[in-house]
Structure 1
Amino acid sequence: MNFEIDILDETTKLTEEQIELAKSIISKAAKMEGLTGPTEISVTFVDDKRIQDINREYRGKDTPTDVISFALNEAGEEEVQIIDPEGPNVLGDIIISIPRTLEQAQSYEHSFERELGFLLVHGFLHLLGYDHLTEEKEKIMFSRQEEILNAYGLKR
């Protein structure tokens, strides 16, 4: 599988090991989800102010959050979907708040790496069309998240 992961750490707080973890966990999730062919994804790590700005602008919620995903393969009613059949499958963008990741890791009493992995997989599954808008869909998505994290070795 040809899988390109572009990572931007706007916070400059992540170590090389943590950035490699991000690439590795996304690659594992892609493999487990059966993605084939050339695929691209973008992951950006930001601070709370930046994610709050994004959350306000795109979701109408003026509060910081932990992760936001923007799927590029979903065409809404009024959107035109442009896919180059010769080019890679560009899944979209995942944006993660590093301060929220740290807070939640402490709150749930597990490692920063476990929380980072959780948020990465959560955002990635959203890019693939998973959601948690109903109880049934939430069970499916959260179960899949745990399967991927456990297979990777990031257990609670």
Structure 2
Amino acid sequence: MIEFEDLQSFIQVDEKLNHTVEKVIQFALEKERVQLETETSLLYVDNKEIKSINYETRNIDKETDVLSFPMINYPDGKVFKEVYDENSFYPEDFNEGRLVLGEIVLSLEKAFSQSEEFSHSFEREVCYLCIHSLLHLLGYDHMVEVDKVIMRKREEEILNEFNIVR
């Protein structure tokens, strides 16, 4: 389950966008072998708000495109599909029977400008950023080059299989 909240006025969010995002996230969860029901929050914001959140949480005083707030702690270098099964969790990891993965905060304003910069659709950019963030919620990271290569490859595999291309 994805809980959407729209706190921005830069882009008119319609049900089509939310439906596409929900489908691509569900597809990615299946590809990552997440077999439990999950819960993720997706918060749409503008550049000003994401800059503020970025400063508050990471002490970085600039806008970014997406932030991820995972609720699960992973062993170093491991991702969900490598370490977890239904017996790995505690009752507090769940909300109404759904495993709480965390929160995605996405600047639609930044996604729009990046879609123009990279010459692909706004929908493609939003889906890419959601998959990027979801992979963070599942333990992927890109702070070191070897992990970055793995994460970027996985992002593209999922998007291509879902038929969201550049």
TM-score, normalised to structure 2, is 0.84
1:17–1:58 CA distance, 2 compared to 1 (3 A): same
Name the counterpart of 2:72: 73
**Counterpart of 1:131 in structure 2: which amino acid?**
D
1:84–1:110 CA distance, 2 compared to 1 (3 A): closer
Name the counterpart of 2:19: 20
Q: How does 1:63-142 map to 2 (within 5 A)?
A: 63-74=62-73, 82-84=92-94, 87-142=97-152
Per-residue deviation, 1:11: 2.0
Per-residue deviation, 1:29: 0.5
Q: Which runs of 4+ in 1 moved over 6 A?
A: none
Work out the CA distance in 2 between the residues paired with 1:84 and 1:144. Answer: 26
Q: How many residues align?
A: 149
Q: How does 1:26-45 map to 2 (within 5 A)?
A: 26-45=25-44
Work out the CA distance in 2 between the residues paired with 1:9 and 1:83. Answer: 25
1:72–1:145 CA distance, 2 compared to 1 (3 A): same
Cα offsets for 1:121-147 (capped at 9, x unmatched): 000000001001111101100000000
Cα offsets for 1:47-66 (capped at 9, x unmatched): 11111110000000111100
Q: Does 2:15 match 1:5?
A: no
**Counterpart of 1:152 in structure 2: which amino acid?**
F
Which of the residues 146, 150, 158 maps onto 1:148? Answer: 158
Cα offsets for 1:100-128 (capped at 9, x unmatched): 00000000000001100110000000000
Work out the CA distance in 2 between the residues paired with 1:86 and 1:56. Answer: 32
Q: Sequence identity of aligned pairs in percent? A: 38
Cα offsets for 1:77-116 (capped at 9, x unmatched): xxxx843598321000000001100000000000001100
In structure 2, list runs of 5 or more residues that go unmatched: 76-89
Work out the CA distance in 1 between the residues paired with 2:94 and 2:135. Answer: 22
In structure 1, list runs of 5 or more residues that go unmatched: none
Secondary structure of 2:93 counterpart = coil
Work out the CA distance in 1 between the residues paired with 2:124 and 2:134. Answer: 15
Cα RMSD over matched residues?
Answer: 1.9
1:139–1:14 CA distance, 2 compared to 1 (3 A): same
